[in-house]
Amino acid sequence: MDQLAINVLVGIALIVGVIGTVLPIVPGAFLCAGAVVVWAFSMGAMSAWAVACFAVGLVLIGTVLKYWLPGRQLRASGVPWWVLALAGLLGIIGFFVIPIVGLFVGFILGVYLGELMRLRDRREAWPTTVAALKAVGFSMLIDLTAAMLASVAWFAAVWIV
């Protein structure tokens, strides 16, 4: 396969990966990193491997940050660990029950139900649920940023090399 065809396929994979960070059909940022690694294999040049390492590093940093920062934000707003565990479990179940958005719906529902069980008042459970919504949005933004930066690094390398 010639290099132009590989570049086109990698570009398509990067577009799908970036979309996958917002619509969790595919593991978005990991798809972006994998596509850049495939490109580096096809190029074989040391500079291509440098770009691939940079892209993988961005995605790894983004992955750590997308779980750590929103989790810290939720704990700071007073959400107990067991509510987060319940939300994670319902998020996983939601992923399989409702295609595309089930992970987020299940997570938010889990936070709301957990806080409702803990506080026994709908009005008191709602602010924590809003904090969870903000945390999910922040997590998606971090993942999107990592995928976009990895894609931009590849795009710049293709035009420079």
42 pLDDT tier (thresholds 50, 70, 90): very high
CA–CA separation, 98 and 36 (whole Å): 31
Question: What contacts 36, CB < 8 A, 6 or more positions away?
Answer: 10, 14, 51, 52, 55, 56, 150, 153, 154
Provide the whole-model pTM. Answer: 0.82
First to last CA, the chain: 18
Q: Is 120 exposed, middle or buried (0-12, 13-18, 19+ CB in 10 A)?
A: exposed
Least confident of 16-25, 52-61, 151-160: 16-25
Going through the chain in order, the beta strands assigned E by DSSP cover: none
Write out pLDDT tens, residues 89-139.
Answer: 998 999 899 877 788 889 889 999 999 999 898 898 888 888 888 888 898
- pLDDT score of 1: 74
**Mean pLDDT over the full length of the chain:** 90
At residue 157, does pLDDT exceed 90?
A: yes
